[in-house]
Structure 1
Amino acid sequence: MTKHSSAPTPPLPASQWQSLDTRSREIFRRIVDSYLRDGEPVGSRSLSRILPSTLSPATIRNVMSDLEHLGLIYAPHVSAGRLPTQAGLRFFVDAFMEIGDLGDEERRSIEAQIKASGNETSLEHMLTEASQLLSGMSRGAGLVLATKSEASLKHIEFIQLEPTKALTVLVSQNGDVENRIIDLPAGVTVSQLHEASNFLNAHIRGRTLAEARTEISRIKEETRAALDSLSQALVEKGLAVWAGTESDLPARLIVRGRANLLENITAQADMELLKNLFDDLETQDGLLQLLDLAEEGPGVRIFIGSENKLFSLSGSSLVVAPYRDAEARVVGALGVIGPTRLNYARIVPMVDYTAQLVSRMLR
């Protein structure tokens, strides 16, 4: 059975929850099961037909009234049946839901896709595939958060595009390739671009960006003696362009399957809430908060609706797990965003297993 770590339980007295008798628990469980399956309210007459024991609609209505008083269910309309509240869903997830394991076929499918994408040259490709995979299997939006890489560097090259512009190509030992355009000092020649590339490659290979900057700074006098002033300026610019600024985001967000979240939305207001959710996620604060959510507890974490301020307006739920590098450091997070009626029991082991595979591929 897959373990998961829950967000804080709503402020309802635990003694009241624990006082629920077997009948009340069974009725509550059936209401939640119906909601997760169909998304529709369920009434006392419907429950009386599906409950294993013989209970009259009147008796069921009395139990439902008690559950409503506890804040576990509510009536969306006066004459409607009942739906679970967010507190009720949290109670269900923590107290009732049995999270099993993935079937062998699902495991093989996930493993084949992650391993195939991991054989590509780019880490970004593997993470994008992981996001697409989670989206397809969950019918929600698959999400992967990747922190800025501290991988060791392999190669840097300057390619002149025009007299005042050059493309800087940085290749990491793990196969990641990043390109950026820089402004060239006036008068730089192609030979000076090669000279600066060769000098940097002699000193950065096997070092992280921070280590490379420290090394170049340490041998600054040697650098001045070995290179003319224009080449020296290129060396400094070539490293500085990767250092980033305070405005740079600390991570990148890969989301696939956003359209899945729109399938059952008809109100323009709800569409706007979802748009705002993704806008918030992609800000620096949103990215940091998302990573914090994954780091705070071991295993998979479940956040339902307003339990997290990122999702309080859209009413979405998040199932998220961290993935780790060879030193067991959390370097990112992956998960599924969807409506509160996500199939949590199925998605939790799916997210957990995918995070384990990505971690394994990074070792």
Structure 2
Amino acid sequence: MQLVDATAGAFELDERSKDIFRQIVDAYLSTGEPIGSRSISRALPTKLSPASVRNVMSDLEHLGLIYAPHTSAGRLPTDRGLRFFVDALLNVGELSADERVGIEAEVMGPPGGEAMDAALSKASMVLSGLSSGAGVVLTHTQDMRMKHIEFVPLDPGKALVVLVGEDGSVENRVVDLPPGLPPSALQEASNYLNAHIRGATLSEARDIIARRAAEERAALDILTSKLVDDGIATWSQASSKGPGTLIVHGRGNLLQNVEVRDDVDRVRQLLDDLETKQELMQLLSLTEEGDGVRIFIGSENKLFSLSGSSLIMSPYRDNQQRIVGVLGIIGPTRLNYAKIIPAVDFTAQVVSKLMK
């Protein structure tokens, strides 16, 4: 199972701080109540005085990971703290064989199959029952017409793609970036796509970029052929991916020939544009393939604008491996994440199997 975070946290905690933070989160997930330093001191695996625990709690509060709901009360995790817990400290469990069989039987129904709408309804009911929250199924996200798209760098080699639909829906996908893609390409891709593909689906946007690249390639062929035939320039390091590097002869002399200089500048511009469009098509293809369980906690939950709740979603696919919808649950932030995350992931796999 691939676990994708919506907003990665970045904190360096020592083991003692992690142990105390876990106690605070575990108490919240179990009871919803704050826990104090004395109770934490008794529960820790290594002996630590309540005063020492309070010092660590003060540091955790300063980091924004915990807070005191009342004066002199114990501490609760913040949304930021829960995000850090899920990203860095949570041990995601595995469903038992019986749990998998149960989910599959509920969603797929008896032999002979179910209508897809009925199966999706059952998937929503199964997830609702497992989580004591609301089961959610969103369909046809592959055809979402985009109002805005943003590429946000995460860890090296990964980016978060934020898709905002014309209907106000929001999707987040994490993609692996092509090797060697410069960080500046992400911002350039966001700017270019938002200027040119409003109202298009992802696949339509990719076709638009491909058509424009083909037009520029044709213009490049005409210009470069003229320059090479006239002996003004040559190509070197040609490869199957492109013509290679343009080498221009007598650059100083070109300054006296405005027409030739303009042609060379145009070639360079076309090469830059083609490289940009190649990167754009790669990013759009990766975005269409973006996968993984996505988690939104508290104020991160922009899709339904429900602060104080968590949203755990996973995409499902059709028989051509295209993402055609997402399903999951909305529940309180004190969900049993270790149990719900694998349940959502497996339910999405079952629905994908039905689509084939």
Instruction: Please tell me the TM-score bracket, short chain as reference.
Output: 0.5 to 0.7
1:289 aligns with 2:183: no
Which ranges in structure 1 are unaligned for 5 or more consecutive residues? Answer: 151-248, 251-282
Q: What corresponds to 2:4 in structure 1?
A: 5
Contact 2:289-2:322 within 8 A present in 1 as well: no
Of 111-120 and 25-34, more deviation after overlay is shown by: 111-120
Q: TM-score, normalised by structure 2?
A: 0.59
What letter corresponds to residue 132 of structure 2 in structure 1? Answer: R
Q: What corresponds to 1:108 in structure 2?
A: 101
Q: Distance in 2 between matches of 1:289 and 1:331?
A: 15
* SS of alignment partner, residue 89 of structure 1: helix
* SS of alignment partner, residue 336 of structure 1: strand
1:325 aligns with 2:318: yes
* SS of alignment partner, residue 294 of structure 2: strand
Which ranges in structure 2 are unaligned for 5 or more consecutive residues? Answer: 146-164, 175-286
Write the mapping of 1:87-106 to structure 2, written as runs, cut at 5 A: 87-106=80-99
Q: CA RMSD in A?
A: 2.6
1:362 aligns with 2:243: no
Question: Offset of 1:37 from its aligned partner?
Answer: 1.1
Q: What corresponds to 1:24 in structure 2?
A: 17
Of 55-64 and 294-303, more deviation after overlay is shown by: 294-303
What letter corresponds to residue 5 of structure 1 in structure 2? Answer: V
Q: What corresponds to 1:223 in structure 2?
A: none
Question: Offset of 1:313 from its aligned partner?
Answer: 4.5
Q: Distance in 1 between matches of 2:330 and 2:291?
A: 19
What letter corresponds to residue 56 of structure 1 in structure 2? Answer: S
Deviations 1:243-266 (A, max 9, x none): xxxxxx98xxxxxxxxxxxxxxxx
Q: What corresponds to 2:292 in structure 1?
A: 299
Q: Distance in 2 between matches of 1:61 and 1:126?
A: 51
1:34 aligns with 2:2: no
Contact 1:299-1:321 within 8 A present in 2 as well: yes
* SS of alignment partner, residue 301 of structure 1: strand
CA distance 1:27–1:326, shift in 2 (3 Å): same
Q: Distance in 1 between matches of 2:142 and 2:57?
A: 52
Question: Offset of 1:129 from its aligned partner?
Answer: 0.5
Write the mapping of 1:1-363 to structure 2, written as runs, cut at 5 A: 2-10=1-9, 14=10, 17-18=11-12, 20-116=13-109, 119-147=112-140, 285-286=167-168, 288-290=169-171, 297-363=290-356
Question: Offset of 1:147 from its aligned partner?
Answer: 2.0
Q: TM-score, normalised by structure 1?
A: 0.57
Q: Distance in 2 between matches of 1:58 and 1:30?
A: 16
* SS of alignment partner, residue 285 of structure 1: coil
Question: Offset of 1:148 from its aligned partner?
Answer: 8.5
Question: Offset of 1:137 from its aligned partner?
Answer: 1.0
Q: Distance in 2 between matches of 1:298 and 1:106?
A: 23
CA distance 1:295–1:91, shift in 2 (3 Å): farther
CA distance 1:128–1:117, shift in 2 (3 Å): farther
Q: Distance in 2 between matches of 1:302 and 1:148?
A: 17
Deviations 1:152-210 (A, max 9, x none): xxxxxxxxxxxxxxxxxxxxxxxxxxxxxxxxxxxxxxxxxxxxxxxxxxxxxxxxxxx
Question: Offset of 1:9 from its aligned partner?
Answer: 2.3
